[in-house]
Amino acid sequence: MKQIRYLHGAWLLLLAAVLLLGLAITPAGATNKSTRNVLQAQNTTPINATIYIATSTLAPMFQSHIDQQVPVAVNTAIANMVSRLPRQDQGWAQQMATTLIQPSASLVSFVPQQGGIAATILLSLYPGDPKAISANLLFSFSVADSSTVQVTAIPMSGSPSLASGPVSTFHIPVGQLNSVATTPTCGDAALALNLQVPISLGSANSSIQAQQAAMISSSNASLLTALTTQHSSNSTNTSNVGGRFIVHPQSLAPSSVSSYIEIPASSLAAVGSSVGSLPISSSFTAKNIQVSVQGSNLDVTSDIYWGGLNIGTADTLVAPTAANGNLAIRVLSTTLHVLFFNVPYNTYNQQIQQTLNSKLGHAFAGKFYVTQAAIGANSHVPCAANSSLILTGITNIGG
Q: Which residues bind another protein (CB under 8 A)?
A: 77, 81, 84-86, 88-89, 91-93, 95-96, 98-101, 123, 125-126, 128-131, 133, 135, 155, 159-163
Residue with smaller CB distance to another protein, 99 or 251: 99
C-beta of 70: minimal distance to another protein in Å? 11
Cβ-based nearer residue to another protein, 125 or 332: 125
- On whether the CB atoms of residues 392 and 259 are closer than 8 A, the answer is yes
- The three-point CA angle 34-37-39 to 5° equals 110
Give the C-alpha separation, 169 to 174, whole Å.
15
Which lies closer to another protein via its Cβ, residue 3 or residue 99? 99
Is the Cβ of residue 93 or residue 269 nearer to another protein in the bound state?
A: 93
In whole angstroms, the minimum distance from the beta carbon of 90 to another protein comes to 10
Give the nearer residue to another protein in terms of CB position, either 3 or 88.
88
Instruction: Please report which residue ranges of 48-104 form alpha helices under DSSP H.
Output: 55-82, 87-100
Q: Are strands 43-54 and 244-247 parallel, antiparallel or unpaired?
A: parallel
Cβ 149 to another protein shortest distance, Å? 24
What's at 279, amino acid-wise?
P
Cβ 151 to another protein shortest distance, Å? 18
Q: For residues 263 and 391, is the Cβ–Cβ distance under 8 A?
A: yes
Name which of 130 and 344 has its Cβ closer to another protein: 130
Q: Give me the least distance between CB of 94 and another protein, in Å please.
A: 8
Length of the chain: 399
Q: How far is the CB of 127 from another protein (least distance, A)?
A: 9
Centroid of chain to Cα 110: 24
Query: Is 101 or 224 the residue whose CB approaches another protein more closely?
Result: 101
Give least dist CB 82 to another protein, A. Answer: 9
The answer to whether the beta carbons of residues 103 and 122 sit under 8 Å apart is no
Q: How far is the CB of 119 from another protein (least distance, A)?
A: 15
Distance linking the first and last C-alpha atoms of the chain: 75
- The residue among 94 and 313 lying less far from another protein, judged by its C-beta, is 94
- Minimum CB distance to another protein, residue 139 (Å): 16
Instruction: Give the full edge-to-edge strand order of the sheet including 148-155.
Output: 104-113, 116-124, 133-145, 148-155, 165-171, 227-228
* Torsion angle defined by CA atoms of residues 210, 215, 221 and 225, in that order, rounded to the nearest 10 degrees: 120
* Shortest distance in whole angstroms from residue 45 CB to another protein: 49
Contacts of 212-215 with CB under 8 Å at 24 or more apart are 212/325, 212/365, 212/366, 212/369, 215/366, 215/367, 215/369, 215/394, 215/395, 215/396
d(CA 115, CA 183): 9
User: What does the alpha-carbon distance between residue 150 and residue 166 come to, in Å, rounded to a whole number?
Assistant: 7
Q: Which is nearer to another protein, 51 or 163 (CB)?
A: 163
Nearer to another protein, 161 or 207 (CB): 161
Rounded to the nearest angstrom, the gap between the alpha carbon of residue 221 and the centroid of all alpha carbons in its chain is 19
